[in-house]
Amino acid sequence: MKKIAILIFVIFCSCSKEKTKEKIQQTSKEIPEEGPYFKQIKSNDVKIATPVYGDWLFSHKEKGQTFEQYYMSKHIVPTKEANVIYIQPIGKFNSLQKEQVQLTNEYLEIYFQLKTKTLDPISNDVIPNSARRMNFGHEQLLAGYILDDVLKDEKPLNSIALMGLTELDLYPKPEWNYVFGLASYHDKIGVSSIYRFQDEKLTSENFNLCLSRLLKTSSHEIGHMFGLHHCITTNCVMNGTNSLSETDKSSIRLCSVCQRKLNSCIKYDNKKRLIDLENYFKKNNLNDEFDSMKKDIVLFDK
């Protein structure tokens, strides 16, 4: 018995030493130096306005996330086995809505510099009556049901992130009026609704405004899947928002710190990404968005 006890003690000590050694190696992970590009574009960062009643930061006291905290955190990184972003349309989309989905696909591929694919639409019929309700005269779908009972089953093996897009409104729980979207960062799946982005009806007149909202929301939610927290210091696409008006005020641009975080994860060519974004915004007549990219490009070569 003594020999067995000693053997167990030795194994325990050996395992403890290995765990301690592993922990030391993890905590001693070297933080990369800030590159010249990120230093240059800091001058384009705009300090976030002092939050007022109704703003996200007025009611959510968040601590934020430094680059060092992000770099040391556990978050997904693209691999050969999982490196594709997928969009899963849910419902029946009209021609203008389908165009927005396609443009979102193009944008996410540029934004994250990763292959992005749109899957064939899923019918709303897969969502049972128990996960639906009528609210102020329009139908809503339970966002959590879509995450747990629909998207998990649809996630392709090579997916690094899967974003569901619905044409019906969403709600997260009975006591809430609605939600723009919901995500499971552990499972790397999310769902967003275009219902509230289109001001009751999507038309050629409001098309660009609605598209901008969709691009901001989808890149924001997938950014969370890559481990980015809400940005609380700078006007940035990673700002939390409580309303469409707050979403409209927030920039589509990642601030210098959040760009550095994403680049440390995906390791894309910063200049190529900027030029691709600039061309996308120009082609789709998104003028404010074009100007924000142009400012970073101008500083890139200085």
Residue 200, φ and ψ in degrees, nearest 5: 75, -45
Residue type for 90, please? I
Q: CA 94 to CA 77: how far, in whole Å? A: 35
Residue 268, φ and ψ in degrees, nearest 5: -90, 170
DSSP string, 235-269: --TTS--SSHHHHHHS-SSPPHHHHHHHHHHH---
Give the pTM.
Answer: 0.87
Delimit the domains of the chain by residue range: 37-75+227-302, 77-192
Give the closest residue to 119 by CA, choosing from 178, 165, 52, 168: 165
Q: CA 22 to CA 193: how far, in whole Å? A: 43
CATH of 77-192 given 3.40.390.10, 3.40.720.10, 3.40.1210.10, 3.40.50.720:
3.40.390.10
Q: Judge whether 263 and 270 are in contact, CB under 8 Å.
A: yes
Please compute Rg for the chain using Cα positions: 22
Q: CA 214 to CA 220: how far, in whole Å? A: 10
pLDDT the model gives residue 302: 66
How far CA 285 is from CA of 113, 211, 235, in Å, comes to 21, 11, 22
According to DSSP, the residues that pair with 132 across neighbouring strands are: 141
Which listed residue (221, 246, 278, 289) is catalytic?
221
Task: Print pLDDT tens along the chain (302 aa).
Answer: 444 443 333 333 434 434 433 333 344 578 989 999 999 999 999 999 899 998 999 999 899 999 999 999 999 999 999 999 999 999 999 999 999 999 999 999 999 999 999 999 999 999 999 999 999 889 999 999 999 999 988 889 999 999 999 999 999 988 888 888 888 888 899 999 999 999 879 999 999 999 999 999 999 999 999 999 999 999 999 999 988 999 999 999 999 999 999 999 999 999 999 999 999 999 999 999 999 899 999 887 76
Q: CA 126 to CA 292: how far, in whole Å? A: 41
N-to-C CA span, the chain: 73
- Would residue 221 show up in a list of annotated catalytic residues for this protein? yes
Q: Which residues contact 1 (CB under 8 A, 6 or more apart)?
A: none
